[in-house]
Structure formats: C-alpha cells, structure tokens
Structure 1
Amino acid sequence: MVRNNRKGKQKETNKHLNRFHYTVDQAIEKPFNWEQMARMLQYLKPYSKRLLPAAIIAMLISTLVRLAVPILIGKVAIDIALENKDVPLLIQLVVGIGLLYLFSYVGNVFRIKWVNILGQNVIYDLRKHLFSHVQRLSHRFFDSRSAGSILVRIMNDINSLQELFTNGIINLLMDIVTLLGIIIILFVLSPKLALAIMVILPIMFYISTKLRRSIRRSWQDVRIQQSRLNSHLNESIQGIRITQSFSQEKENTAFFDGVNTDNYESWRNATKKSAMFRPFVEMSNAIGTAILISYGAILIIQGPSNGGIEVGTFVSFAFFLGMFWEPISRLGQMYNQLLMAMAASERIFEFLDEEPNVDEKKNAKKLDSIKGHIEFDHVQFAYDEKRIALHDINLEMKQGQTVALVGHTGSGKTTIANLISRFYDPTKGAVKIDGHDLRDVKIDSIRQQISVVLQDTFIFSGTIMENIRFGRPDASDEEVMEAAKVVGADDFIQRLSEGYQTEVEERGNVLSAGERQLLSFARALLADPRILILDEATASIDTETEMKIQHALKRLLKGRTAIIIAHRLSTIREADHIFVLENGRILEQGNHDELMEQQGEYFDLVKTQFQMLDAI
C-alpha cells in the first residue's frame, strides 16, 4: 500500500521535476574489472608492512583453529577415543580444544582491532586525497556540478567503502581460506561424499553470475538518486529565504517528495535484488544437508572396508557442511558489498581522474613579487562553443592604476577579472602580468598576490578574527584589527557581544549584508595584494558606509593595481582608466571626463543612472 501511495505521489510531482534543470551524475557503464579493484587497494599500500600482515596472521590463526576442531572431534574423539573408550585421550582433547578456542579468541580480538585501525586509516587517506584533488580543480568543474553532487562523492561514496576496508577485505580472505580448507579436507576425508555435496555449486555460480550486472546497476542508480537528493537539499537550505518570500513551501515540498521517492525506489530495488542471493544459499544448504544425511548414511552402512566411511568422518562432514555454507553466504553479502563499493569507487575515481582545465606547467616560473602591470593580448574566451564571452580583447592596466570595468550584465566584466586570477585560461591570445604569460607561471604565486572581493561574499563558520585572518593565516591579532579599522569594520565588530571572538555561522547569516562585505574587504586587504579586484563589492553596502570605504581605498590602493567592477558612478568616477564593455568587446576607454565628453555608451550609462536617482 505504501509503495502504491508513493508511486501515486511520484506521478503528481513529475510536473514539478520538469520545472527545474540541474546536472546529475550519470551511471558509469564500465565492466566489473579487477584493475579498478587493484587501484582501490593501492590505498592499503602504506599499511602493508605492519597492520595488514598482522591482521592476516591473526585471521589465519583463528581460521586454522576452526578447521582443526571438526577433525579432532570426528576423527580423534569419536573414531579413536570413544571407539577405544580412551578416557585420558578424550580429556586431553577437551582441554586441547578449549585452549585452541582461547587462542582463536585472542587472534580474533587482535584481528578486529587491527582491521578497524587499517580501514579507518584508508578511509581517512582516501577522503583527504579526494578533497585535496577537488580543491585544485578549475572553475569549469564546479560550473557543471552542484555542491550536493560533490558532497555525495566525498561523504556518502567514501562511506560506502568503509565496511569494505574495515572488515570486508580481511573477511573475504578468511572466507576464501576457510572454503578452500574445507573443500580440501572434505575430499581427503571422503571424495565420494564431497563430490555429492559439491554438485550444487555450479547452480549457485550460474545464478550469482546472472544477478551480478543487475545488482551493480541498481547500486549505481542508488548513488545517482542520492546525488540528486543531496543537491536538492543543499539548494533548498541555501535558498530557504527565497522559497519563503515567494510562499513556495508546498511547491518545494512536492518537488522534494518526488526526488525522495526516486531515492526510496532505487534503494528498494537494489536491496530487493541483493536480498535474492541469501535465500539461494540457504536453499543450497538445505539440499547439501539432505545429500549428506541420505548418501552419508549409505556410506556409513557400507563401512570403511567397502569404500564407505566411519561415523567420525560423517560427524566431521556435518561440522564442515555447517561451516561451508556460512562463508558462502557471507561471500554473497560480500559480493553485494563489493558491488556497492565498485559503484562508489567508479564515481570517486571519476572525480580523481578529472584534470584541471587550468593546469600548471611542469617548468612554470614562480613570481615571488609582482608589480601589477596587466596586459590582454588579443584575448578571446568562451565558456562553451555557443557562448563567446570575450572577442579579441586588447587592454593594458598599468602598475598602480585603478581601472574600472563598466557595462551591462553579460558584457564580460567578471570574465576579465576571472582571467586575471587565472580561474580560466583564454581560448585565444594571452593574459600577461608584468610581461609573463599566466600559463607559464605557478598558479599559487600569482593568486597569493591577488585579492578578490565579490558581491556575494562568503563568510565561514568561526570567529570574526578567523574570517579576516583567512586572507593571511600568519597575521597577528593586531594586524587583523588594523585591517578592520582601515575599512571601517572595527566599529560594528566592537559592538558585537564577543568582539573579534564572536562566532558567526556558515555564510555569516548573523551579520547584515553590509557587515559581511566589510569583513571581506578587511580579509582582502590583510592579504596585502599587489592586485585588488572588486567585483560589485560595494553593491551591498549603504551610501554612508561606502563613503567610508572610498576614503580608506584611496590610501590602500596607492601603489596597487585595482580592478573595479561596479555600476555605481561614485565607485568608478575616480578611476584612472575606465573600459566600457558590451557583448565581450571594448566600446570605449578613457577616464571619466574623457568618456563624458565623447557622449557615447558611458555617457548614456551615467545619464540613465542619474535619471533613476532623480526618479527616486
């Protein structure tokens, strides 16, 4: 009934899904192969000298004890001690078996301890590697993927590997050793009875092979649906104010219900298929037991002299048969776990195989100190083949100049700023700083000398002091406070309950938009950059606060190259040089007075702004 209700809801909410478009992860159609598994196991290499061998030795000890006990009970205790009524031998066996189990217990304790330490270390290394790799990927990578999708890879997909590395690998080895040991022992004890019992194995192998591809694709679908769910959750939480302001809570809930239902259905389908394996194992166990009892009884009646078996051998077979299906059942579960791990690892390695679009040459030069002379030499840039953002741009920004970029939305202002920071590389031409093509320079050496302040600034969870110090981690408290004073942030910080030690939540929601922007100014200026980029940085600040910042910037921008992207006339009229952009081309350039005299596009922009102010 629940299933039908959910399907009904899904039909009702499909129309909501069509209203939105977001990038989702696609299933990776690759065959199950051991090369991928070998790559995953490479993360065990740092621990292959101590932890892994110790865990394997502990596993072998407990496994050998388990294999030895049924032989001691069947062949020694029953066929020798009880047959000959040898009580001292029987007592010795009881004591010996007890000591063996104690030895096995100690081995299991250390095995569990070591494999958990091993697994947690591997998961730590893998998550660190993936996060570090994602950190250095280019902006193009993040342009086509939601934050929720990336979060799923780093958290959920790596968590899916946790069970594999903590218990799965050692348990797999233990079950394989146990199975091989049992098979060898059974054929040594009685080849006839062993063959009779093993007749069921080909059927099990055939069924498991048929299920393999279907189960694997089901778990891939689970990962895709989880990615969609996380993406929507991340988007919904970040956009909750917009949702509530437009009274779209019901609409958003309906959309979530559709995504959540897809996630539920994918899990239900995957677990249903995975659960099919265990009943087959239990059925095989029942068939094997029936064969043992019926054919074993016949062999006992025949007796050893006529090619039959002794009672002790039958008892050992009964013990081993019970032990035989247990590892097979666990191997079935392990196989499902392995399929989940492979589906997750494919997605993890897809990210790890992603190369930055903005890559660093092996022989790239390190620029310890730049002057700030910027040049665009016939630069063309396109985000994709159909959308060219810049057309053959030639411009020069001299050292220490304050340059303004103005134009309508989509004219290419932010693109120019992104190319200067080398978040992207030009499609054609070259961007140069101090005469060096940025593609020939170490990325960090350039970015460490450039500060960027955006309109939508990001405040990290932590203290005010930590957020400002993000621009230069080695800065002293006094330097942090001085930067805040210069941009006029110190006044509001001192009014907070804990001052500079006040904790702010993610994105600084406890602060106003203007206060967050002031913190971003302080952060950028603390870094003491040679090039400062202000991308609509004063858009969220009131006029009075902007006047304070303008006064501070006159002192702080001296000797630095500053690129200002803004619509407010008050922000750009003092610039040394202004570039007017339209559809990725430079229409006009000059200072404010020169451009006003031309009465061109810039003149129209200024006139329009004044008309809007007069209307207010």
Structure 2
Amino acid sequence: MNGEKKIFNTALLRRVFRLAAPYRNRVYLSLALAIALAVLSPVRPYLIQITVNDYIKNGLIDMVVRITLIQMVFLLLETAFRFLFSFITAWLGQTVVKDLRVTVFNRVLHLNLSQFDKTPVGTLTTRTINDIESINEIFSDGLIPIIADLLSIISILVVMFVVDWKLALISLAPFPILILATYIFKESVNRSFIRVRNAVTALNAFVQEHVTGIQIVQAFAAEGREYAKFKKINSEHRNANINAIFAYSVFFPVVEIVLAVSSAILVWWGAGKSLNLPPDQAAALTGKMISFILFLNLLFRPLRVIADKFNVLQMGMVASERVFKLIDNDDVIKTEGSFAPAKVMGKIEFNHVWFAYTDTRYVLKDINFTVQPGETVALVGHTGSGKTSIISLLNRLYHIQQGEIRIDGVNIDDYTLNALRRQTGVVLQDVFLFSGSVMENITLRNPAISREQVEAAARLIGMHQFIEQLPGGYDYKVMERGSTLSLGQRQLLSFIRALLYNPSILILDEATSSVDTESEQLIQQAIDTLISGRTAIVIAHRLSTIRKADKIIVLDKGEIREIGSHEELMARGGAYYSLVESQYEGNRKAGRA
C-alpha cells in the first residue's frame, strides 16, 4: 500500500458494519443513545440560564432549588446514558474483532502454501492481531462515537442560535481558526498513523523472522548487522509516533486558546452591552452569557477529540482494507471434490504433470510415472531437481498447471481434502513440533486418538522407553519447535505421528539426511516399520537408505532422467550411477580427512 494512500469509502465502511449484523440490536441501541445524549447535552446550560435569570430577577429560592434538582436528575441520566453508550460501542468492537479474527485465521489455515512463500509470517501476524484490533476502534472510537459527537455539536449549535443568534455568532467568531487547525491536525496525524502502521508491520515481520532464524544469525556472527537493521526500523517507528505526538501537542493547546478567545469575546461584548441596558434586560443577558460559556465548553469537548476520532476511523479503514484483502484472497486450497473413500489401495499416477511456483518458470516438466500399491519408490537427484515439489503436489499443497495426478485411478482434485490427506502420511526433513506436551504433538490434539494407541505406536517405532524417561513422560512439555529434543528424537516422534494416522501412502522427505549414525539406524528401523504394507515415496540424499526401493526415479532440473531398480540403474551407468559414484567418492575423501 502506498504510504500516503487514504482508504475511506462507503462500500468498505458498509462491509465493516455488516460484521456487526448479528448484533444489530446493539448498534441500534447505541445510535438511540447517541441521539438521547445529543438532546440532553444543551439542557443543563439552559436550565442554569433560567436559574440565574429567575434568581437575579425575583430571588425565588424555591424555584432555584427545584431547577437544581432537575439538573441533578438530567446529570445522572446523561451519565448513565454515556456509560451505556461507551460500554455498548466497546462491546460491539470486541465482539466483531473476536468473530473477524476467527474468520481471518480460518482463511490463513486454508491458503495455498504459495501464499506463505510470498508473504512474511510477521505480515500475516500483523493482519490477524494488530490490524483487526484497529477495526475494533471503528466501533469503540470511530464512526458511532463520531456520529454521537456530531449530533451533540449540532444540538448545542441549534440551541445557541435559538436562545440568542447574535450571541451565538459572536461567540463562534474564532471558529474558522479551529476548523483550519483541525484540518491541519487531521492530515498530519493521518500521515503519521500510516507510517506507524507500516513500521509496525515491518517490525513484526523482522522480529518474527530473526527470532525463528536466530541460530543462523548467531552461527554467522551477524548479530551486529541485524541489530543495526532493527535499530533503523525501530527508529522509523519512533519517528512516526513522535510526529503524531507533536501534532497532538500543538492541536490541543490551539483548541484551548480558541475556546479562551471565544469566551473572552463573549464576556467583552456582553459586559459592554449590559452597561447600556435596563436592569431586567441586563440580568437576562447575564444568564445568557453564563449559559453560553457552558455551551462553548460543551461544544469544544467533542471538537477536541473529533479530529482524532476521524483519524482512528481512517486507520481502522486502512486496516480493514488489508484484512478484507486477506479474507478475499481466493488462492486457497480447493476442496470441491466429493470422493471420500474410507481407504485407498495406494496406486499413484503422475500423467504429464507440469508445475511452476511462479508464472511459467516450471520446476517440474512433463513428469510421468506410476507407483503400484505397496511399492516403495525413491526420488533422487541434486538439490533443486524437483523431488520435494513432487511430494508437495501429491497431497495438494500446491496446484499443478498442466497434467493430472491420480490415486487409485481418481484425480486427486476429485477427492475431498480431508480424505486425501487422511490417506497420505508425511514425515518431513524439518520436523516441526508445537509448544505443548509430547502427547499433544504426536496426536495433534486429536481427541479420537487414545493414550494406549500412542504408546503402542511408540513401542513399534522404538521410542516408548525414551519418552517414559522424560520428566513427565508423555506429558513432557517440549519447547517451541522441539528445541529441547535432538533432531533424531524429533524425527522419531514424527514417525509415531504418521503411524497413528495409519495412512495408505507414506511420504518420507530426507528423513535421515541430518542425523547421526545411531539415530539413522533407529530411523531406518522405524522406516521399515512404517512402509510395511504401504505405498511409500522416499526422498534421500544418502543413497544407502534407498537400496531396498522397488523403483528409483532420478530427477534432474525438473525432468525424469531414469527409472529403475538400484541394480538396473547401476548396470546402465547413467545419471544414477554418477550420483552413487560421486557420493562414494565424497565419503572416501571424508574418511581420509
């Protein structure tokens, strides 16, 4: 978004208020209270005028007492209405925010992975937390409070002109200065707020990215450089806030000065006028002047904050445009399919599949292969050859541009997403563990999976004894991303997770590429347990782990170079043979070193 762009249109505002449709009765009540407050606002100054006039003219103490009691009733009534108005608008804002945050997070969960490739996680966090909180302010400090303030201003002005139009004109003489100051203030704060919002987004993205990648930052001694970058972004945030604070520091004193000048002009004119009037008329003028001073104070109270509320509304609209852009993002995982078998045999077919992450820069080109049920197929090739892209397409993390992928002869787009992914177990190289217990990470908080099932799966994988030795056993709390466990232990936990879901198709992505020899042996045993009776697609740099594969597919720059068993491909002396030889040569050199 352009830093100077203003987002304020009625269509956007209507869409924001449609979010409150389930709570329309509260909206109507808040508007009714706004009207009631506008009517009540000028009543007390007018009663004070009557009190002063009658007391000076007739000395009627009883009348003064009665009017004072009436004023107290109006004051209590106005206070109660104002409390209800503030509470209801705040309640509306928080309730809409709660509903909207759920909607946004649900959309984030269903976005295609390509969106996460292009959008920093910190930006999505800002949309879900900060921007939605700004939409809350549209209700609590935005449109409805602005309507209430405008109604109060109109009501007070009408009463002032009805009581004495000359006094009204005289007391409002400095108003053009206030209107000009309000406009300048609004524009200045609006620019500052946009800068603040952009700076907050940049801060969130930067901090999230660098906390996640702190190991790389420290490993390459880049703390100083990253610290300098953060200071620069943080300074921009501070400068934007200081500009806003400066505008406030200038505007509010200007409002007070204009109010003082208005009061001074009113008193000066009234004092001069009363000298030439009879006592009765002078007394009446005194009552009017007192009421007008009170009118001015009531008038300036909403004027002090209405420009600020317009900016709050403006920033809420900017935030809502960003949030609605995320909600309207149609690059979501398609779930139009209706085929949902309880179990699949596991036959996989790639027919003339072409795939690109962006535009037409294809990373997979005319991929054709078939995996029979129960077969183990290995994908090998240099980094960037397309191995991970193939397995990402199999469970529809991305959508292909050309061709089709079939499971048991049915196009994967015809499956329901739940059915497709329920049949496909995935063990990734970079195992992600959430903050929570070992049990929660294995079951992913699925209440249908019992503790006995988890323990049985752990025994099959060979992890039960290790888990039992942890403090708290299966209730041991792992840190974010599983940082308190070794890479091999995290990998084995992911095997338990995959085994519990009993998939017909198993995908192993570089499952042993970064572990020690002892862990590799345990993982290899776990792999043998997992793939038994299942269709399996295995990716591995260590070619020793795929010798047992029924079929090996050799990829190079997104194309299939060779397909066959280990023995067949070695005898052919082609691309696979070269890969094996280069790896053995590398191992020999490492051994000599």
Q: TM above 0.5, one fold?
A: yes
Deviation at 1:446, TM superposition (A): 1.5
User: Which residue in the other structure is 2:495 paired with?
Assistant: 521
Deviation at 1:259, TM superposition (A): 1.9
User: Which residue in the other structure is 1:318 paired with?
Assistant: 293
Stretch of structure 1 that moved more, 182-191 or 114-123: 114-123
Stretch of structure 1 that moved more, 276-285 or 337-346: 276-285
User: Which residue in the other structure is 2:325 paired with?
Assistant: 350
Deviation at 1:333, TM superposition (A): 1.6
The residue type paired with residue 262 of structure 1 is E
Q: Quick one: distance in 2 between partners of 1:571 and 1:373?
A: 23
Deviation at 1:202, TM superposition (A): 4.8
Tell me the matched-pair count. Answer: 589
Distance 1:476 1:357, change over 3 A: closer
> What SS is found at the alignment partner of 1:384?
coil
8 Å CA contact 1:404–1:565 kept in 2: the answer is yes
TM-score by length of 1: 0.89
> What SS is found at the alignment partner of 1:354?
coil
Stretch of structure 1 that moved more, 266-275 or 595-604: 266-275
Q: Quick one: distance in 2 between partners of 1:467 and 1:38?
A: 42
User: Which residue in the other structure is 2:13 paired with?
Assistant: 37
Distance 1:300 1:44, change over 3 A: farther
Q: Does 1:221 find its partner at 2:195?
A: yes
8 Å CA contact 2:348–2:372 kept in 1: the answer is yes
User: Which residue in the other structure is 1:19 paired with?
Assistant: none
Distance 1:298 1:31, change over 3 A: farther
> What SS is found at the alignment partner of 1:574?
coil
> What SS is found at the alignment partner of 1:83?
helix
The residue type paired with residue 325 of structure 2 is E
Q: Which runs of 5+ in 2 are unaligned?
A: none
Deviation at 1:246, TM superposition (A): 2.5
8 Å CA contact 1:302–1:309 kept in 2: the answer is no
Q: Quick one: distance in 1 between partners of 2:84 and 2:7?
A: 36
Q: Does 1:402 find its partner at 2:376?
A: yes
Q: Quick one: distance in 2 between partners of 1:381 and 1:373?
A: 21
The residue type paired with residue 44 of structure 2 is V
Q: Quick one: distance in 2 between partners of 1:59 and 1:30?
A: 27
Deviation at 1:86, TM superposition (A): 1.4
User: Which residue in the other structure is 2:312 paired with?
Assistant: 337
Q: Does 1:370 find its partner at 2:338?
A: no
Q: 1:432 is matched with which residue: 406, 412, 434?
A: 406
Q: 1:95 is matched with which residue: 60, 69, 83?
A: 69
Stretch of structure 1 that moved more, 365-374 or 572-581: 365-374
TM-score by length of 2: 0.92
CA distances 1:43-88 after superposition (whole Å, capped 9, x unpaired): 2222222x334444455555544321111110x2122344222111
Stretch of structure 1 that moved more, 215-224 or 570-579: 215-224
Stretch of structure 1 that moved more, 303-312 or 127-136: 303-312
Q: Quick one: distance in 2 between partners of 1:275 and 1:369?
A: 69
CA distances 1:530-578 after superposition (whole Å, capped 9, x unpaired): 2221111222333333333333433432332211111112321111211
The residue type paired with residue 171 of structure 1 is P
CA distances 1:210-238 after superposition (whole Å, capped 9, x unpaired): 56555434322222222222222122222
8 Å CA contact 2:141–2:309 kept in 1: the answer is no
User: Which residue in the other structure is 2:554 paired with?
Assistant: 580
Distance 1:386 1:200, change over 3 A: farther
CA distances 1:102-158 after superposition (whole Å, capped 9, x unpaired): 233333343343333332212211222211111111111110121112212212222
CA distances 1:489-511 after superposition (whole Å, capped 9, x unpaired): 22321111111000111111111
User: Which residue in the other structure is 2:149 paired with?
Assistant: 175
Q: Does 1:498 find its partner at 2:467?
A: no
Stretch of structure 1 that moved more, 78-87 or 495-504: 78-87
The residue type paired with residue 470 of structure 2 is L
Distance 1:208 1:303, change over 3 A: same
> What SS is found at the alignment partner of 2:20?
helix
Distance 1:357 1:159, change over 3 A: closer
Q: Quick one: distance in 2 between partners of 1:28 and 1:359?
A: 36
Q: Quick one: distance in 2 between partners of 1:428 and 1:522?
A: 35
Stretch of structure 1 that moved more, 462-471 or 305-314: 305-314
Q: Quick one: distance in 2 between partners of 1:298 and 1:439?
A: 87
8 Å CA contact 2:137–2:313 kept in 1: the answer is no
User: Which residue in the other structure is 1:185 paired with?
Assistant: 159
> What SS is found at the alignment partner of 1:161?
helix
1:540-579 equivalences in 2 (<5 Å): 540-579=514-553
Distance 1:221 1:445, change over 3 A: farther
User: Which residue in the other structure is 2:115 paired with?
Assistant: 141
